[in-house]
Every structure is written in C-alpha cells, then in structure tokens.
C-alpha cells in the first residue's frame, strides 16, 4: 500500500503599524507581503511493520475451561484423601506392630496381647455397674473368644475366690431378647464356643428367696463345683445381683 501524503497551507498577514499602535512611516502593503507556509505530512505505511507483541490472554472462562478446572480439582482432592488413608494405615500398623505382650497398666494382668483386671473391691457391683466401671477403665467386661481363654480365666479366678459368693461378671447377656446371647460389643455368642455349667442357662426368677421378674439375663463365672480341667463355668444370673467382675482390653492401648 502506498504512503498517504497530506498537504496543508497556512497564510499569515503582516501586521500594520496601526495595529501596533506605534507611530511611524506608513508602508503600503501589497498582496505580495502575505507569508504563506506550507507543510507536507507523510502518513507512514504500517503494513510491512512487525506485528505488535501479543498480550497473554485471560484464563478460559468458557464452560469447557471450567469443566477442566473442576476435573483437576476433583483429581487433586482424590489424591489428598488417598494420601490421608495411606498415612492412617501406616500409623495403625506401626502402632500394632510395636505393641509388645505383657505391657499393661498397674493392677492389670497380662496374658498374650490381652490385659485383664479382676475386681478386688469388698463391695461388689451389679452387671450394669460393672460394665460402667470397666468403661471408666477404658476397657469392657471380658469377652471370651475360645476355649483356651475360658480355661485361662477359670484358672485365675479359682485362685482369687475366697468364698462361695465370690463370683465374677463377664460381658455376656440376653437382655435385648431372651435366649439371644450377645457380648458387650453386640457380637453374638458363637454356638461352638459355649461354656455353660451343667444345666445352664436356666433363667430362674427366684434366687435365694428373692424374685427377679426379668429372670436371669447376665452371665458370671465362679462356682465351687467347677469340673476339673473343664471349660464349663458360665452361669446365667439376675443382672441386679452384685458380684465382682473381670475387665478386658488389649495391651498397649
């Protein structure tokens, strides 16, 4: 494209002496005395000039760009959650692997990875109070999972019994539904792991000439007629009666 040319012309007329207010000889003006200035302006052609620098464009605000941003945010959130889960698993495994048998609080007895507390209070408690006392100790009434654990506890309480009524509550009951035996953590009693004494449970409503309308819904251990080398030792008893108790928790808690 050719360059554009602009012509402009400006005329200036000389001042007369009359305009200046000065006295002097009068000079006759002629048309030739006018002064003419001419200017020529060239308009540059920018067609061949380099392009101006490109400014950065703002972030894409279109729906497509927003969708990409949301997808990136969700992916980042998923990675963070996964990292937290992995970290929690690692910590849990490290705590468990560092738990050594025999590490229990004072007054507790260690057996494997379990800690047991055998009540020695002169004043006994009913079943509910016994469970509350165990919870206060960050534990629960004993949950017996197999024959080995049952025989272990029977052997220990034999040595602790000092009289015919020196019995111990454990964490088994059928208070919610008669005949449906549950442990304190609401797990059902395994049918292959029942250790009832002879003719138990019988759900008597009269014990020592005292009536218990709800029957016998809680379980204790500790009878003088334990069968030698037998695991049988559970007796259902009215939950209102007061006995000693056995608390249980895991070592290293």
pLDDT digits (tens, 9 = 90+) for 171-188: 999 999 998 999 999 999
Bigger pLDDT: 227 vs 232: 232
Cα 38 to Cα 13: distance, rounded to the nearest angstrom: 14
pLDDT (tens digit per residue) in 2-18: 555 555 555 545 554 44
Confidence of residue 93 (pLDDT cuts 50, 70, 90): very low
Q: How confident is the model at residue 63, as a pLDDT?
A: 56
Residue 102: left (phi > 0), alpha (psi -120 to 50), or beta? left
Longest dimension (CA), the chain: 159
The answer to whether residue 78 scores a pLDDT higher than 90 is no
Radius of gyration of the chain (CA): 51
Percent of the chain with pLDDT over 70: 62
CATH top-level class for 109-250? alpha beta
168 forms beta bridges with 221, 244
Task: Spell out the domain ranges in the chain.
Answer: 109-250
Residues 6+ apart with CB under 8 A from 173: 127, 181, 182, 184, 217, 218, 219, 239
Bigger pLDDT: 95 vs 242: 242
Written as six digits, the tokens of 225 are: 């007629």
Confidence of residue 91 (pLDDT cuts 50, 70, 90): low
pTM of the full structure: 0.58
The answer to whether residue 26 scores a pLDDT higher than 60 is no
Percent of the chain with pLDDT over 90: 33
């Amino acid at each position: 494209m050719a360059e554009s040319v602009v012509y402009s012309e400006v005329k200036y007329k000389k001042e007369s002496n009359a305009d200046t207010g000065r006295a002097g000889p009068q000079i006759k003006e002629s048309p030739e005395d006018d002064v003419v200035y001419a200017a020529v302006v060239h308009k540059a052609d920018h067609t061949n000039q380099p392009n101006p620098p490109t400014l950065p464009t703002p972030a894409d605000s279109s729906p497509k760009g927003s969708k990409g941003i949301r997808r990136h945010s969700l992916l980042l959130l998923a990675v963070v959650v996964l990292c937290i889960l992995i970290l929690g698993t690692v910590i849990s495994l490290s705590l468990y692997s560092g738990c050594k048998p025999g590490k229990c609080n004072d007054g507790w007895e260690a057996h494997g990875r379990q800690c047991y507390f055998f009540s020695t209070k002169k004043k006994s408690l009913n079943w509910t109070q016994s469970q509350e006392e165990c919870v206060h100790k960050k534990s629960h009434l004993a949950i017996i999972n197999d024959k080995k654990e049952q025989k272990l506890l029977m052997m220990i309480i034999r040595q602790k019994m000092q009289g015919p009524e020196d019995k111990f509550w454990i964490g088994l009951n059928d208070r919610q539904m008669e005949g449906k035996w549950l442990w304190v953590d609401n797990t059902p009693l395994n049918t292959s792991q029942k250790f009832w004494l002879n003719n138990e449970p019988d759900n008597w409503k009269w014990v020592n000439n005292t009536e218990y309308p709800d029957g016998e819904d809680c379980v204790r251990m500790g009878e003088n007629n334990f069968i030698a080398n037998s695991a049988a030792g559970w007796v259902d008893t009215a939950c209102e009666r007061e006995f000693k108790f056995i608390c249980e928790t895991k070592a290293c808690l």
